[in-house]
Structure 1
C-alpha cells in the first residue's frame, strides 16, 4: 500500500505570507514521489478528455451551422461537392416599364439523397411517395438502390413538403438550398419573358436572351412592355379567337417614336411555371410566338409599303390614274380584285378600295429591283432585330422576277413576321425614320437608332391614305371615337407545305393612332377565323381584325395619355384631307373626299 504522509506547516487564507496576520502556521501538504506521479497522470488524462469533448462538440456545432445555412449538409465529401455543383446563381428580377414585377426568384429547398446511407430503400420509397405522390416509385427505388452518392429526389419543394419530409427522419436524405423562378403575372407575358429551368438557366424569351446578364447583375431588367396594355391586348385577342373559332391570334402595340414594344401577346399561351413540351404542329403549340417566330404572307397590309415605295420613287403621284377595269394576266396566273370597281383609279382609290390590280400597276412603275431594294431597306430580307431568340426568317423569292414583284405588291409571295411589319409601319407613319423594334426601355431618347426609309412628305401622304381606309374604306370598324385610327386591313390565304390551304387564312389589321400626329402603331392578326352570322359569313380583316383593333384602342388610349380629338374639327379635317379642302362656295363634289363616310357594304374586301 502506498503511504502518503501529510504535515501541516502553514496555511495562508489571504494569499500573503506563510504566516498570516494571526500568526498561525500555513497548512502544507507533503506528497511522496510515487503519489505525485499518479496525480500528474490523472491531470494529463483530464486534459485529453476535455480536448476530445471540445473537438466533438465543435464538430456538432459546425454541422448545426451547416444545416442552418444550407438546409442540411451531405455526410460525405463527394455528396457535398455534387450538391455544390448544382447550387444555382441568383437571377435578377425582370420588371415592366413601370416597375411591375414580371419575374423574380424565391429561396426554396430541393431534396436529394445519398443512396449509400439509405438503410431501407423500400420504406423510404413508401414514405416519400406518400408526401410527394407525383414521384415515380419505380424510378425512385432504382435511384435509392443505385451505387451513386448523389441523386435528386425533388427540386423546389414547398415549405410544407420540406417540413413533412424532415419529420420522416430518414437517414441519407438532405436538403439543398436553391432559387426558384416565379412569374407573378402568369400567362400574361409568357412569350416575352419566357421561362427558366430547374437549374435556373433561361430557356426561352428574355430569360434565355439575357441569361448571363440576369445572373451577373443584380439590377432588375426593365422591359418596354406595359402590363396594363398586355391585359387589354390579351383579353381582346382571346375574345376574337372565341368569337371566330380561330386557332390563335397575335397583337402588338409599339411607340413609333422610339421603337419600344409596349404590348406583345400571342395566344394560345402557357403558364411559365409549368411550360408544356414543344409540339410538332406550330399553329397549335402554346409556346409558339406568332409575333416573332411566325412568318406569314401579310396580304393587303403590304399595300402600305407598296404605296410608300411608289410615291417615294417619284414615278407615281397622288393624282396619277390606273386602269383597274380588267384583271391582269401573266403566264398562267390571273390577278383580280376581290370586289372589282371596274374603273380607273387614282392612288387614294386604289388604297381605299384595296385594289390588287391598281397596286400591281403602281409597282410596275418602279420595277422588281427597286422593289427588292425597298423591302431590304424595311428589313424584310433578314431576321428582325429583337431581344428574344424566337425569331423567324423571312421567306423571299429568289430570283426576284416580275411576277414576284406583282404578287408582293399586294402581300403575296413573300412572308415576314408581324414584328417586321410593325417596325416598318412605325417608320412609315412617324415621318419616315424606322426605329428597330425593342423589348427594352429606351431611357435616352437622344440615342435612339433609326434609319430614314421615306421622306416626310411621303410619310404624310401615307398617313392620310391610312386614315381614309378607316373613314371610308375597308376598316371602318377599326375606328375608335376620338383617337383618329388609321391603317390597312389584310386577308391572306395560309401557305401549308407548298400550296395554299383551303379555308385557312390570316385576317389582320396594321395601323397607327392618332393619324394627325402618330405616336403608337398597332397590329392584330387572327389565325384561321371562321365567319359568323354577325359577319354574314365573312372572316376577312375588315370583319375580324378591324373591330378588335377598335376595341383595343378605345381602352388603351386613356392609359397612354392620348387626348381624344374631334374628328370633324376643321383643323383635323385639314390635316388629314387627301385632296385640298374646297374653297368657300365651290361645288359639293370636291367636299365628299374631306368628309368621313361610313360604308355599309364592301368591307369584306380585306
Structure 2
C-alpha cells in the first residue's frame, strides 16, 4: 500500500509540474504577443509621422491644446479680443432630482435677464441643453450651491474683449457657435478660426490710445449738446489706415444682449447722411482741377438768393455782397458754391464724385457697409445742390476718404482696418492734381483761422477743415429742428497726415453751444479738444513756428468794420 501511495504521489507531482510549465509557456507567449503589438504600434506611429510629417504633429498638438479663435490686437500689440477658457451651465434633465419649478425660480433669481418660465421650459426638455454660455465664476458658484446633480458646468472657449466697449463697432462680436457676427470678427472669421493662421494675432490698424481719446471726446460732446448720437473717424491720409473709428451710443461686446441691438449699427460705415457744407471744398477742388475756377480773386454774386427752376438757393447767413472763392468757403456760401457747380456742369462733377467712390459702398474690410444715396436724376438743380452737400447722402467714411484724397496730393486710397506694411500701401488713384491739393490745403486752413471753423483751432497743430450742418429729411421735406452737424478736418495742414471726421447727430442747441445747433458750435469744438490729445500719440508735435503759407490769399478776405465771421454754418 505504501508503494502504491508513493507512486500515486509521484504521478500527481509530475502532472502539477506539467501544468505549471504549460501555464508559464502560455504567459510567456502572451507577454511576447503584447510586446510585439507594442513594437508594432510604435513602428506604425513612426511610419505615420514619417509619411505625414508636420501635418500629423500639428494635428496632435491641436487635439491636445486647442487655442480656439485667434487673438486680435491693435497696431501696437495691445489685446483687443482674446479666447479664454470660460464656464457654461448645462442641464441634463433626466438626472434632475429636485422640483423643476422651484429650480426655475431660483435660476431666475440668479439670472434676472431670463424669466422663470423660460428656465422651466429649458429644464423640461428631454435632451441635455445649455442654460447659460459665458457664465461668470460668481454665477457658477451660486448655481452650484443649489446642489442639483442634474446641472453641469463644462468649460468652453469664450471670447473676451479686454477693452470692454472701446472699438466695439470695429471688433463686433462672436455668436455662441464660435463664428463672428459683425465687425472684424465677422470680416476675418475664416482667418481667425484657421488652425494655421490663428496662432498668430491679427493686427488691426487701430491705435487703442487714439480710439480711447476719440470715444471720450465724442462722448463728452454728445452729452454736452444733448445729441441723439455721434460718430467719428481718424484716418491716415498716406496709407488709408483707420487709426480710430467709433459710433455712439456703443455696446459692450462681452455682454451683447437685447438692449445692445439698438446700438449695433456702425454709423461711420453703415448709415448715410446728407453731410451739407463739407462737400463745398470738394466742389471747389473739382472746379479748380477742371479749369472753370482759374482765379481765387474772381467774385460771384451772393447778394440775393439764387433762383433755379422755381427753387431758391439761400445762404444761412447772407453776406449781401459778391464773394470770391476763399470768402465762399470761409463764409460757407451755398449761393456761390451752387454757381461754381453750375459752371462745372453735371458731367464733370459726377465724374469727380465717382472717382471718390460716392456712387458705391465705401471700401473697407467691414461687411457692414451702406451704399450711398445717389441722385436718380442729375439735372441742373440737383447738380447745384449736390455741390453744397444736399441731394446726395454718403457715410462719414466716404467723406473721410474723400478728404484724404483732397489733402494728400490728390490720391484716393481705400480705407483699411488692417495694419499695413510699407510695401503693402496702395499707390492710389489720381483724383485731383497735386497743385489743386496744395491750394485746397491753404483754403481749409483759412476756414479754421478766419471762418466758420474757428472753434476747431488747436494751437500748434495747424488744423484745417470745413463745417457742415444739414437738416435731416422727413415727411414733407427737411426738418429744421433736426440737424446733422459735421466737421471734416485735417492736420497738420503744412503737410497733412491725418483726417478727422466728427459728426454730431441732432444736437439740441443748448447753453453749451450758445444755443446753436450748427457744426461750428458743436462738432468743431470736439475737434479742437481731440487733436491735441491724439497728435503726440501719432507723432505730430505742436509747433507754433510752422504753418501753411496763406499770405497770398489773406488779402482776398474782406471784413466790414464791426462784423464777425464766427457764426458757423
TM-score higher than 0.5:
yes
Q: Which residue of 1 is the match for residue 39 of structure 2?
A: none
- 1:601 aligns to 2:564 (yes or no): yes
- Pairwise CA distance, 1:141: 3.7
Counterpart of 2:251 in structure 1 is 270
**1:484-563 alignment runs, 5 A limit:** 484-497=462-475, 499-533=477-511, 535-563=513-541
Deviations 1:292-321 (A, max 9, x none): 111000110000110111100012112332
Q: Distance in 2 between matches of 1:455 and 1:352?
A: 22
| CA RMSD of superposed structures (Å) | 3.3
Residue aligned with 1:90, SS: coil
- CA drift of 1:269 comes to 0.7
Gap runs ≥5 in structure 1: 8-27, 48-86, 580-590
TM-score (norm 1): 0.79
Which structure would you say has the larger RCO, counting Cα contacts within 8 Å and 6 or more residues apart? 2
Q: Give distance in 2, aligned partners of 1:275 and 1:499.
A: 37
Matched, 1:478 2:459: no
Distance 2:97 2:257 in 1: 37
Decide which of 91, 110, 116 is 2:94's aligned counterpart.
116
- Structure 2: gaps of 5 or more residues: 28-64
From the superposition, tell whether residues 342 and 184 of structure 1 become closer, same or farther in structure 2 (CA, over 3 Å): same
The question of whether the paired residues in 2 share the 8 Å contact of 1:461 and 1:578 is answered with no
Change (3 A) 1:279 1:265: closer
**SS of residue paired to 1:576:** coil
> Per the alignment, in what secondary structure is the counterpart of residue 426 of structure 1?
helix
Question: Cα offset for 1:559?
Answer: 1.4
Q: Equivalents in 2 of 1:5, 1:366: separation in Å?
A: 134
2:204 is aligned with 1:223: yes
CA distance in 2, matches of 1:321, 1:309: 18
| 1:433 pairs with 2:414 | no
| 426-435 or 234-243, which deviates more | 234-243
* Alignment deviations for residues 174-194 of structure 1 (CA, whole Å, 9 cap, x no partner): 443311111111111111111
TM-score of the two chains, using structure 2 as the length reference: 0.83
Q: CA offsets per residue over residues 115-145 of structure 1, 9 Å max, x none?
A: 3344555398369738944464444444444
Which residue is 2:297 aligned to? 319
> Number of residue pairs matched?
519
Distance 1:125 1:347 in 2: 75
Please tell me whether the aligned partners of residues 104 and 120 of structure 2 are also in contact (alpha carbons under 8 angstroms).
no
- Written as runs of structure 1 = structure 2, the 5 A alignment for 1:281-360 is 285-317=262-294, 318-360=296-338
Is the Cα–Cα contact under 8 Å of residues 578 and 594 in structure 1 kept in the other structure?
no
CA distance in 2, matches of 1:500, 1:602: 26
341-350 or 162-171: bigger deviation: 162-171
Matched, 1:246 2:227: yes
Query: What's the offset of the Cα at 1:352?
Result: 1.2
SS at structure 1 position matched to 2:263: coil
Per-residue Cα deviation, 1:70-90 (whole angstroms, up to 9, x for no partner): xxxxxxxxxxxxxxxxx9981
Of 545, 550, 553, the residue aligned with 1:576 is 550
Q: Quickly say closer, same or farther: Cα 1:122–1:350, change in 2 above 3 A.
A: closer
Judged with a 3 Å threshold, the aligned counterparts in structure 2 of structure 1 residues 29 and 464 are, in CA distance, closer, same or farther, namely farther
> What is the SS of the residue equivalent to 2:398?
helix
How far did 1:214 drift?
0.9
Bigger proportion of residues as helix: 2
CA distance in 2, matches of 1:128, 1:31: 78
Equivalent residue, structure 2, for 1:256: 237
For residues 29 and 311 of structure 1, do their structure 2 counterparts lie closer, same or farther at Cα, with a shift above 3 Å needed? farther
Confirm whether residue 147 of structure 1 aligns to residue 126 of structure 2: yes
Inter-partner Cα distance in structure 2 for 1:395 and 1:376: 13
How far the C-alpha of 1:445 sits from its partner, in A, is 4.1
